[in-house]
């Protein structure tokens, strides 16, 4: 009998994004992403891996490109459960409890989208915000609002 692969519930994908993000400290445990990096990584995943993630986030054109208010709500719920914590007004970090849960959930997630998410978050942590936004606007012009400007100083 072939067992169907089930994906973790949508609200756990921000947690998984933090889990597969590159470490930000020498110990390898601290993993952080900004709200913009999380939004853009999950957006690109939703656009390029939709067939593997049919029940995923919906995005609208907003400041700095595509945005899903559900991601912010899910992050707040994950924070209330002590699985992530907000470092400042724009950066999120996975907690030890979140790391343990994400490790379990990663075994249930479709492998290819999860690996792709790791590649996305790695690239997004290495490039300036202007490069990230330019890539999103160029690849997905329908999600750039008229008059949105790419920040020149980061």
Q: What are the tens digits of pLDDT across the range 34-90?
A: 999 999 999 999 998 878 877 899 999 988 889 999 999 999 999 999 999 999 888
Q: Is residue 150 part of a domain?
A: no
DSSP 68: -
Instruction: Quickly state the pLDDT bin for 152 (edges 50, 70, 90).
Output: low
In a domain, 3, yes or no: no
Mean pLDDT, rounded, for 120-148: 89
- Within-domain flag for 152: no
151 domain residue, yes or no: no
Number of structural domains the chain divides into: 1
Question: Does residue 81 fall inside a structural domain?
Answer: yes
pLDDT, average across residues 100-108:
94
Give the model's pLDDT for residue 1: 40
Structural contact between residues 105 and 15, judged by C-beta atoms closer than 8 angstroms? yes
Q: In which domain, by residue range, is 65 found?
A: 10-143
For the question of whether the overall pTM of this predicted structure is more than 0.75, the answer is yes
- Mean pLDDT for all residues in the chain: 88
148 in a structural domain: no
Kindly state the percentage of the chain with pLDDT values over 90.
67
What is the b/e burial string over 40-60, where b = at least 16 CB atoms within 10 angstroms of the residue's CB? bbbbbbbeebeebbeebbebe
Q: How many helices (H) and strands (E) does the chain have?
A: 6, 5
């Amino acid at each position: 009998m072939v067992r169907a692969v089930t994906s973790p519930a949508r609200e756990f994908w921000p947690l998984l994004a933090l889990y597969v993000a590159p470490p930000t400290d020498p110990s390898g445990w601290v993993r952080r992403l900004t709200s913009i990096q999380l939004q853009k990584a999950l957006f690109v995943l939703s656009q390029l891996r939709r067939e593997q993630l049919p029940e995923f986030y919906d995005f609208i054109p907003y400041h700095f490109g595509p945005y899903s208010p559900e991601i912010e709500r899910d992050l707040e719920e994950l924070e209330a459960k002590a699985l992530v914590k907000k470092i400042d007004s724009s950066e999120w970090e996975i907690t030890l409890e979140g790391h343990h849960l994400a490790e379990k959930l990663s075994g249930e997630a479709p492998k290819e989208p999860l690996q792709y998410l790791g590649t996305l978050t790695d690239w997004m942590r290495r490039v300036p915000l202007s490069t990230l936004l330019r890539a999103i606007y160029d690849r997905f012009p329908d999600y750039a609002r008229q008059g949105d400007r790419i920040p020149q100083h980061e």
